[in-house]
A and B are shown apart, each in its own frame.
Chain A
Amino acid sequence: MANWPLTRELRRGLATCLIGAVGLSGLVGLSGCGDASKKDGVSAGVTAVSPVKSPDGKKVVRLNFPVAESGFDPVTAHDLYSSIVIDGIFDTILTYDYLAQPAKLVPKIATEMPLVEDNGQLWTIKLKKGVYFAPHEVFGSNKRELTSKDVAYSFKRHYDDSLKPVWRFLTDGKIVGLNAWYDAGKKAGKLDWDAPVEGLQLVDPYTIKIVLTKPDYNFGYVLAHVAMSVVAREVVEKYPNDVLSHPVGSSAYYLKEWVRGQRIILEKNPNWRGGTWDFKPSGKDAYDEVIVKAMHGKPLAQIDRVEIYPIEEEQSRWLAFKNKQLDVLNMPSSFIKQALPNGKMSPELAAEGVRVQRLLDTEYTYTYFQWNDPIWGGNELHKVALRRAVAMAINREEEIEIIRKGNAVRAEFLVPPGVAGHKAEFTSSITYNPPLANALLDKFGYKKGADGFRNTPDGKPFTFKYTSTPTAIEREFDELYTKNLGALGIRYEAEKEKFADSIKREKRCQITTRGAAWIADYPDGDNFMQLLYSKNIGESNNGCYKSATFDALYEKSAQLPDGPERDKLYMEMQKQFEADTPWALGVTRYRNQMVHPWVVGYKKHPILLSEWMYFDVNMEKGK
């Protein structure tokens, strides 16, 4: 609207006055007129037209969540977005190198990487001195230092049933004496927080030894998990039922203001210990050099204030970003083709200097077959043939092009890209091949009846009953699967129900087939391979797959660190998986982070939840 003679602010002011004058003059005066543009600022919702600089001169970054947060207690947070905030507020023992690819563990409040002894069962951690929690009234006027006692207490909190903890599986049965301590507390009706736990040995205020029940070289990933963030016991005891509203951590930011579902404002922790930006380029991404050049040697946590706004609707997020009201945006899928036509930045955005970072998430989707189902599950050859035929008939390329809007790649291996144990060069033997799938079914006796649909080898009709939620994207899958399975002569039946109901039935092995996705809790292949381990039926093995061969390989691999020996086992597990075909592997989705030019040194890490302390904003560019 270049020919519009009024400025944007004046137009907004006039519109405001018009609405006010027409509709509300009877209720209130017109005192609000004229101040619309004047009040444009970060304090008034996501409306700042002058980015990166708040009225008080602080460096600000404005982000958004597509879903409202629930609360900030590391033990109870079950949603990604609350966990992001927790990661910015609390410290974990380890964290991830900002640039390294694949993700690499580095110390956070540890002075160095833990000393791993006794065949991976003894982990000795030395904590940094001078790590202080953010000021809070429970600490009085003194600075409260984080010690090994806090680490042990934070680990124990996952066993407090009254909190409804969701991350207990990270340590469940893994630390010597921890489950026994929990059982004793349960028997007594009260957990004894001061009672020692054999596997959590407090050597001194800055040293803790963790003794594991069995060798686990991947325990470092647990130490870097946001759920294992370190809390202060005094704060927990001050707010026994409401820690999620009063998070007090020792990381770079503290919760300054929280209006639930509206805005989360974090500011730099006054007791922040500091640190220097010193990461090396990964060598796999040319932009790393630009980041290093811009950030090397700077103190960590350049940004003074982080503002996060939950904006659920995709158009609202997209327009807010284009309107310069958000600095970084995870591109909503509906607008991908508009922002990135043919995979390249649109000229409009390119002219504004907007940058895109495209990365594959550490995840994949899959469609599982119920192993206990009389038609679809089991080891008999004709059942394996049926599952494989379906896996070969699902057109993932069409899914990627139409449903995912070109924003995904086909998943080939059981460990996705960016996760230790992934095989980039591997190509699955199960490819899209409907003629071969039909031939396979013919060979194993799935003959077509008079209605054109196939029956089981003993002549009974059957269907591919697919359970999903009644959402738009699932309806697209229904169409795709109806078409793909129709090409095989298999009846498709869509069963719709609420997600909670599906999970409940899934844990009881009652769902015939369902699409699922798994995103890495930590970037190690074990987090994905455990999905097929039979002892995880009722927990994470949602297809209830049972294979003695796979189990034996998994148990062996779980005792090994990432390396050639484990990779060999993973290849064998992949072969067993393809032989049995308990799932049809789906896709790995891209994440497209759009970044305005004034955001300097930003890179979305595949695992790290909050990168705020590692990037900066250029106040000159943002003016």
Chain B
Amino acid sequence: MLAYIARRLWQIIPTMLGVILLIFFLFSVVGGDPAYLLAGKISNPEQIANIRKQLGIDEPYWMQLLIFIKQVVTFDFGSSWSTNEVVSQIFATRLPASLMIGIPLLILETIIAITIALAVAYVRGSFTDRAAMVTCTMAQSVSILVYIIVFQYVLAYKWGLFPVQGWGNGFFENLFKFAALPILIALVVSLAPNIRLYRTFLLDEVNQDYVRTARAKGLSENRVMFVHVLRNASIPIITNLMIQLPGLLVGLFLIERFFSVPGIGREVILAVERSDFPVIKAVTVYVALATMLANLAADLLYKAVDPRVELK
């Protein structure tokens, strides 16, 4: 197992190198020149040249690439070109707000989606199953923007159930007061596709011979569904969950903007609007790294839930 983990970690290096090259090409070679934005309303070529020098983008590409590799290795991406804030500080201060929405959301959506998927899989083909699937399809067809606008207007403004927007100071205040509506909206949006997906995974298992055998042995339906079926369906479910994990690092762009949540998603949008490459590069590298680590974690979890899986 340890050898497997070491091998997988070792494989991260060439993959990361590919990611670095891709990011560098996209932002430093193809991307726009931020000096023109930072120069203000009226600037002359000399001032623009000075800004390019200060930012280090007047260096040859190979030198810029080396600097970028050094930044990735040391996890020191310097400072934002726009606000001068240290990039690591941006992550340290914005990530907690994103995680405060993302983690409860991931837990809630997983528990609720699996529970409902199990229920509808159990009554597959029935009116309830069909009604649930039609509802999910309809819910999926509506843009997240519509959910945000309607929920913010009705639940927060009209009914006063939640704050319209904002963010406070305390952990509990933020979690229970300001994050509540964003979590609810994200939950409503994410439940429909997840229920459909998990139902499919579960139905694949419900029709297997071992389920018939379990029932023939006289096991209760609860045991059949929650122990036998769910355990065997857990591998694709884990895969789906692990795919979602790196997304926690980039937050929920639209929700953070609408509810003024000072999270990393809002910061990423700002960075894109300002051509703030140090921030964008750092986010991209972190997400790539998190994806690779999540994949490794998924493989390890496969082994944990199904001993038949061999890690080679």
A residues near B (Cβ < 8 Å) are: 1, 4, 8-9, 11-12, 14-17, 19-20, 22-24, 26-28, 31-33, 35-36, 39, 43-47, 68, 70-71, 78, 161-162, 164-169, 241-242, 244-245, 259-262, 309-313, 315-316, 319-320, 322-323, 325, 498-501, 503-504, 507, 521, 536, 538-540
Contact across chains for A319 and B40 when beta carbons are under 8 A apart: no
Contact across chains for B157 and A323 when beta carbons are under 8 A apart: yes
Contact across chains for B37 and A309 when beta carbons are under 8 A apart: no
Minimum CB–CB distance from A86 to chain B (whole Å) comes to 14
30 contacting pairs across A/B (C-beta < 8 A): A4-B159, A12-B160, A12-B162, A15-B155, A16-B180, A19-B180, A23-B183, A23-B187, A28-B175, A32-B173, A39-B170, A39-B177, A45-B168, A70-B83, A78-B39, A168-B47, A244-B83, A259-B93, A261-B262, A261-B266, A262-B260, A311-B165, A313-B165, A315-B153, A319-B164, A500-B32, A500-B33, A500-B36, A507-B45, A507-B48
Contacting residues of chain B (63-98) with chain A, CB-CB under 8 angstroms: 82-85, 93-94
Q: Assuming the A-B contacts A71-B84, A166-B43, are A261 and B275 also in contact, with contact meaning beta carbons closer than 8 angstroms in the complex?
A: no
Chain A residues lying within 8 Å of B36, measured Cβ to Cβ, are: 500, 503-504, 507
Contact across chains for A36 and B41 when beta carbons are under 8 A apart: no
Contact across chains for B161 and A44 when beta carbons are under 8 A apart: no
Contact across chains for A501 and B32 when beta carbons are under 8 A apart: yes
Contacting residues of chain B (176-231) with chain A, CB-CB under 8 angstroms: 176-178, 180, 183-184, 187
Chain A residues lying within 8 Å of B275, measured Cβ to Cβ, are: 498, 500
Q: List the A residue with the shortest CB-CB distance to B259.
A: A316
B residues near A (Cβ < 8 Å) are: 32-34, 36-45, 47-48, 50-51, 53-54, 82-85, 93-94, 103-104, 107-108, 149, 152-153, 155-170, 172-173, 175-178, 180, 183-184, 187, 257-260, 262, 266-267, 270, 274-275
Contact across chains for A11 and B166 when beta carbons are under 8 A apart: no
Contact across chains for B262 and A259 when beta carbons are under 8 A apart: yes
Beyond contacts A11-B160, A169-B43, A311-B165: 5 other A-B pairs, Cβ-Cβ < 8 A, are A16-B177, A32-B172, A260-B83, A499-B37, A504-B36
Chain A residues lying within 8 Å of B257, measured Cβ to Cβ, are: 312-313
Minimum CB–CB distance from B46 to chain A (whole Å) comes to 10
Contact across chains for B163 and A521 when beta carbons are under 8 A apart: no
Q: List the B residue with the shortest CB-CB distance to A33.
A: B176
Chain B residues lying within 8 Å of A11, measured Cβ to Cβ, are: 159-161
Please report the C-alpha to C-alpha distance between residue A319 and residue B163 in the assembled complex, in whole angstroms: 10
Please report the C-alpha to C-alpha distance between residue A510 and residue B51 in the assembled complex, in whole angstroms: 22
Contact across chains for A15 and B175 when beta carbons are under 8 A apart: no
Chain B residues lying within 8 Å of A44, measured Cβ to Cβ, are: 166, 168-170, 173, 177
Contact across chains for A68 and B270 when beta carbons are under 8 A apart: yes
Interface centre among B34, B42, B169, B266 (most CB of A within 10 A): B42
Q: List the B residue with the shortest CB-CB distance to A64.
A: B260
Minimum CB–CB distance from A34 to chain B (whole Å) comes to 10
Contact across chains for A19 and B176 when beta carbons are under 8 A apart: yes
B32: contacting residue among A46, A323, A325, A504, CB under 8 A: A504
Please report the C-alpha to C-alpha distance between residue A47 and residue B162 in the assembled complex, in whole angstroms: 10
Chain B residues lying within 8 Å of A162, measured Cβ to Cβ, are: 54
Contact across chains for A503 and B149 when beta carbons are under 8 A apart: no
Please report the C-alpha to C-alpha distance between residue A521 and residue B50 in the assembled complex, in whole angstroms: 23
Minimum CB–CB distance from B251 to chain A (whole Å) comes to 13
Contact across chains for B260 and A316 when beta carbons are under 8 A apart: yes
Interface centre among B38, B40, B165, B172 (most CB of A within 10 A): B165
Chain B residues lying within 8 Å of A22, measured Cβ to Cβ, are: 108
B104: contacting residue among A24, A68, A78, A503, CB under 8 A: A24
Contact across chains for A15 and B107 when beta carbons are under 8 A apart: no
Minimum CB–CB distance from A529 to chain B (whole Å) comes to 14
Q: List the A residue with the shortest CB-CB distance to B178.
A: A45
Chain B residues lying within 8 Å of A164, measured Cβ to Cβ, are: 38, 50-51, 54
Chain A residues lying within 8 Å of B37, measured Cβ to Cβ, are: 78, 499-500, 503
B168: contacting residue among A47, A521, A536, A540, CB under 8 A: A47
Chain B residues lying within 8 Å of A169, measured Cβ to Cβ, are: 42-44
